[in-house]
Amino acid sequence: MRSSAVEVSLPDATCVREAGPADNDSLLELTRACPMEGDIGLCVDRSPDFFRLCWLGNSSFRVGVVYGPDGTLVACATLAERRAWVRGEPVRLAYASDLKVHPRYRGSGAAPLLVRWVTEQSRDIVGDPGPILLTVLSGNRAMERLFAGDRDLPRIESFATLRAHAVPVFHRPMPEPCFGVEPATPELHQEMRALWNLRAPDRQLSPLRPLGLDVASGARGTDLGTPRHFVARDAGGRVVGFLGLWDEHRVKQLRVTGYSVRLGAARTAINLLAPFIGAERLPGTGGILRSATVVDLCVPHDAPEMLRALLLAANRAVLRSGVAFLTVGLDVRDPLKAALQGLHAQPTDFLACASAAAGEYRGPPLGGRLVHFEPAMG
């Protein structure tokens, strides 16, 4: 049964304060209370440390929290500083995420308070006119209502549609080799970074530094796990493309809260076939759905066959490991999406949006180029 909202008095932005380690348990509980609804209902469990994921891809971050009069954590939001390429230039960005309101307290006014807090905090990072970026799940009516009402909130506009493709892992034939695909070794990291620096400026919002290589090198600590990278070589042996595969279980786990009728029937069929095709059985309600996310995607936009070969190599590497899906993010306009044909990928769409503390974003257009999208950093 859906719980009804409760009346909570939240008079002004003084209700918002910056979270610290003492808030960790409450933040974990709030995150678990806000599942993502769809054909598969998923609850994100960030145990044991809510803040660990906040470091991913960010130069710095702060988390705002709102508590009710009874001491219950009502809502939270995160604002982070990122460095990324915008129209071929390195830019400092304010990135907003993790806006969560406990189901019992929706309609209490906590969300507008946190939006105003994010807006004020962004001035420290990008000033009044600089971009505040965020991704919003497509069809998120609550966010649409939040920015459609007359609440004196900043104007938010979408500039691209991004798609997270969940590719099921099972035995698949490798394509005819047009180039060699192999696991990357640390000796190749310098060459891979050089290739990233060459290609990343052409893709809007690519991070200045490849996230997965930083994690793999230990630059962001060893508690985030170690991504595995795969490289594609041309006939002359040069690295011409690569991607990283990161198992997120050290920073978050996806716990199933339920299946739609349609997908529940499909789950039964998948679980019957799983032993014969090398797939993982889909867990029941309450179980953990293991996935791995593609990071550091560095493939020419006109080479979907290269991306396909890299994805199939990654698929083969995680067979029988407990990983059920590989998630790869692409702009819906990206020609690389052809690499996913026939791989039974399940799509989830997000809107890339921009705003500014000045009231609306009026800087250089963000949607004219293909947008780089890493679901791990969203």
Please state the rounded mean pLDDT for residues 52-63: 88
Q: Yes or no: is domain 165-377 CATH 3.20.20.120?
A: no
* Residue 170: φ, ψ to 5°: -160, 175
**pLDDT given at position 121:** 96
Look at residue 228 in the predicted model and tell me its pLDDT.
Answer: 92
Tell me the HSE value of 46 on the side-chain side, using a 13 A CA sphere. Answer: 21
Over residues 171-223, the pLDDT tens digits come to 988 777 777 899 999 999 999 999 999 999 999 999 999 988 887 766 555 45
Burial class (CB in 10 A: 0-12, 13-18, 19+), 202: middle
Q: Where are the domains of the chain?
A: 13-160, 165-377
201, HSE (Cβ side, Cα atoms, 13 Å): 8
pLDDT of residue 151: 67
Residue 68's pLDDT is what? 87
| Tokens describing residue 377 | 């950093």
The candidate with the shortest Cα–Cα distance to 232, out of 271, 282, 178, is 178
Q: What fold, for 13-160?
A: Aminopeptidase (3.40.630)
Per-residue pLDDT averaged across 47-70, rounded? 90
Q: Euclidean distance between the first and final Cα of the chain, in Å?
A: 30
Asked if residue 261 has pLDDT above 50, the reply is yes
> Is the confidence at residue 320, as pLDDT, over 50?
yes
Average pLDDT of the segment spanning 343-356: 93
User: Under 8 Å CB-to-CB from 200, ≥6 apart: which residues?
Assistant: 85, 206, 207, 208, 210, 298, 372
Per-residue pLDDT band for 251 (boundaries 50, 70, 90) equals: confident
pLDDT of 199-208, one tens digit each?
A: 999 999 999 9
Phi–psi pair at 120, nearest 5 degrees: -65, -45
The whole-number pLDDT of residue 6 equals 47
Task: State both tokens at 93.
Answer: 């960005």
Q: Specify the pTM.
A: 0.90
Asked if domains 13-160 and 165-377 share a fold, the reply is yes
Residue 175: the pLDDT is 72
